Amino acid sequence: MSPQSTPDFLINRELGILEFNRRVLAQAEDPGTPLLERLRFLCIFSSNMDEFFEIRVAGLKEQIHLNPHMTGPDGLTARKAFKEVARISHTLVARQYDLFNNEVIPALGNEDIRFLRRTHWNEEQAAWIRDFFFNELMPVLTPIGLDPAHPFPNVLNKSLNFAVELSGKDAFGRNSDRAVVQAPRTLPRVIQLPDEIAGHENGFVFLSSILHTHVGELFAGMEVRGCYQFRVTRNSDLFVDDEENKNLREQLQGELPHRHYGDAVRLEVADNCSEEMMRFLLKQFELGREDLYQVRGPVNLVRMMSVPDKVDRPDLKFPPFTPGMPAQFAKHPSIFQAIAAGDILLHHPYQSFQPVIDFIREAAADPDVLAIRQTVYRTGTDSELMRHLIAAAQRGKEVTCVVELMARFDEEANINWAEQLEKAGAHVVYGVVGYKTHAKLALVVRRENGKLARYAHLGTGNYHPRTARLYTDFGLMTRHPELCQDVNDVFTQLTGLGGAHEHKHLLQAPFSLHPCMMRAIRNETERARAGEKAIIVAKMNSLLEAKIIHALYEASQAGVKVDLIVRGVCALKPGIPGLSENIRVRSVIGRFLEHHRIFYFWNGGQEDVWLASADWMDRNFFRRIETGFPLLDPKLKKRVINEGLKPYLKDNLRTWEMQPDGSYRRRARRGKGFDAQAYLRSLLGGK
């Protein structure tokens, strides 16, 4: 059976993303998940769906408009894909609000964490809320009556708004029957009441409830016939013309404000919204009925993410966890001495990210350090690492930062850091036009005993201290001369001009990463055909690249045992007789976001292992600057196998197994339960 003969062997990307979000929603369904974490997972699901509509659904709508008959690799036209996406999305959102209203909120109430509905306020609560409205809300609210002089406002992407139905005349004799009230983003969406007012420790009220109750105060002399919250999601992809681009930063700065006002792709309204108002809103945003999502509760659940942090109930959250610290750092007064004594592997979040921060901090302060080079993809708006790089530049060190301005939703933060770095005297470059710089690299040049020595950090994840506490990633700190030379060559290539380098150890996209992975898969295939043992184990976020998938199908047909641990979307179909019966795909969803990229090949017993910044996707292989690196220390290679792969193959509590049709089922538990993340917390965590 030839995998190239039909698109039936590839799964649609958008449908695969929705399957991942279904697994995220299942964490909120699971009664074994601590209660406040169930609420958090509902918010994470909302956040994921927001981005899905802003980027993926927006892309489908553009395809429908530009080329409605073109099919994708999966054989679906954009119109057919959108129809299925809309059907599944409506089902998932309905389930989300069913969980919110019928399980999570009642369970929180049983724990005296209450969200007080306006129909249940007592006199004291109503008085406090009325004062809050007049003192905190009304001064910043701008009601907009809709009439020929006041057209429908340009509503911000994902902002909370209220559509108001009115009757009567205002002070000027106008009788407009509709108005819009926009809630400023500075306002909290959930307000915590004082304990003495709430009657218990954790009492909350929704901003929407307060505004519903007092919206009449904004329209004196008129009757409010209805008030309905709504939220519109817009296309948030940025367009940068590579051919016309003269200054990427300036072009992006001009584009960023438009992100808030892109074409509408989804309308969320309260379930009590009148039919007349729904039709009116759909018309304003030029959306169809399939784009309408009626919900029973807040239209912006993602803004409830703050609630678990406001509630001091450790018994309703994941147990506190302290990352461990590798012993090597305690043995040496300097981080450079620790690295010089031998390569160090960091496994986040089980081990602390602090050594990476200390690496740059010490380099910035060390008079023997001459130069620091680092890639910047996502670091956050408040980054200690970036402050140390700025300090290094101010001290006169040669600081070079390759800042990726097109890191989606982090563009503004990266522009701000780029400006601060330049003001401090650092060299700031934006990589290569047409290619995102996604590699995670840092290099320090230090004078030691009259000679120059290089130290490098290579990672699978971002230089972002907050996500390093939530995402699973590996980072390698090394002084290995050849590996550090490879890293130096990548920086030279990114900042200057010239041909592709022949690296000793490093793989680099868009040059050597894809060919190397293809060779490694084909090597296992040939060994299997020769009757030898052949194994491939790969862990990543997404698997979409067609040539890799076809090579894996051929490997399976030859008898290679293939285990794929893919957290998110996977276009490959496992378990099809004659095609992929030797391939298993599993997804692990737990407390931490699985983010490693690990590629293992048996290779006749040599056990080749690569860590990488790249998933097996077209964009990572061909449209990004990515790196893959080997573990040259046999002990560290064994650690990656024992920590990054084997526990996930053994996990039977947090694992979902992919079926041939693209759906997922929880892995059947046989014998004693095993949770990979819990095992690694116990193995590597601090005391």
CATH topology of domain 7-316: polyphosphate kinase like (3.30.1840)
CB 301, CB 105: distance < 8 Å: no
* pLDDT tens for each residue of 344-395: 999 999 999 999 999 999 999 999 999 999 999 888 888 899 999 999 999 9
pLDDT confidence band for 671 (50 / 70 / 90): confident
Over range 575-599, report the average pLDDT.
Answer: 97
Over range 48-59, report the average pLDDT.
Answer: 95
- Provide the pLDDT for residue 409: 63
pLDDT confidence band for 168 (50 / 70 / 90): confident
Closest CA to 365 of 330, 343, 334, 340: 334
CB 505, CB 488: distance < 8 Å: no
Report whether the peptide linkage leading into residue 3 is cis, meaning its omega lies within 30 degrees of zero. no
pLDDT confidence band for 8 (50 / 70 / 90): confident
pLDDT confidence band for 669 (50 / 70 / 90): confident
With the C-alpha atoms ordered 465, 383, 314, 208, is the resulting torsion angle positive or negative?
negative
* pLDDT tens for each residue of 595-645: 999 999 999 999 999 999 999 999 999 999 999 999 999 999 999 999 999
- Domain-by-domain residue ranges, the chain? 7-316, 327-505, 508-684
Site of tokens 């060994």: 527
- Provide the pLDDT for residue 244: 45
d(CA 357, CA 608): 30
Instruction: Say whether 438 is catalytic.
Output: yes
Determine if residue 590 is left, alpha or beta; phi over 0 gives left, psi from -120 to 50 gives alpha, anything else beta.
beta
pLDDT confidence band for 145 (50 / 70 / 90): confident
* pLDDT tens for each residue of 478-499: 999 999 999 999 999 998 877 7
- Asked if pLDDT for residue 314 goes beyond 90, the answer is yes
d(CA 436, CA 666): 36
d(CA 65, CA 676): 45
Residue scoring higher pLDDT (319 or 175):
319
**Domain 327-505: assigned CATH number:** 3.30.870.10
- Provide the pLDDT for residue 1: 45
In 195-302, at which residue ranges do the beta strands (DSSP E only) sit?
A: 202-206, 223-234, 264-270, 292-295
Closest CA to 582 of 605, 601, 600, 563: 563
* pLDDT tens for each residue of 187-241: 899 999 999 999 989 999 999 999 999 999 999 888 999 999 999 999 987 555 4
**Domain 508-684: assigned CATH number:** 3.30.870.10
- Provide the pLDDT for residue 277: 96
pLDDT confidence band for 127 (50 / 70 / 90): very high
Domains 7-316 and 508-684 share a fold: no
* pLDDT tens for each residue of 470-480: 999 999 999 99
Instruction: Write down the catalytic residue from 214, 348, 438, 480.
Output: 438
